[in-house]
Amino acid sequence: MDELKLKLCDIQGRLFELSGEKAIPSSPFIRAFMTSEVAKDLDSTYNRAQWMGEEYLLEEVKASAGEALPVTGDVFSKDILYWTGYIYRYWHFYTGEDSTKIIRQAPVETMRRNYMMFHTMDPSLAIEDLKEINGQRG
């Protein structure tokens, strides 16, 4: 994984973290992001949105989700949010799968439930284990 891709993983991790700081309910935010045009732009080979920073990306997701984002609900810890965002972006680079396909394989609840077990693992190993969990759900 090259330095630029790792930087994008970090930006997405910080975006998820920022959503928590803004008290946006985590599950709806993550689902809205992963199925958004913003995520699709980040999945593309090159898009200027990739370098806009987490504040700008958050505003774009909020604007596109509109009323679909509730104002109250459970907000995950900063660590869970960062790791989830980071892993989802890493997953895209690791497998080439798009964000919509990734969240179908590892829904928000799966990420939250497995954080303690997987957050210290190498990202590629965590992704392989998450794919295996998905296969068992199947």
Band (52; pLDDT cuts 50, 70, 90): confident
Band (45; pLDDT cuts 50, 70, 90): confident
pTM over 0.85: yes
Q: 65 is written with which tokens? A: 């989700």
Highest averaged pLDDT of the listed ranges 48-52, 55-59, 64-68: 55-59
Q: 10: closest CA among 49, 61, 50?
A: 50
pLDDT in tens, 66-123: 887 898 899 999 999 999 999 999 999 999 999 999 999 999 999 999 999 999 999 9
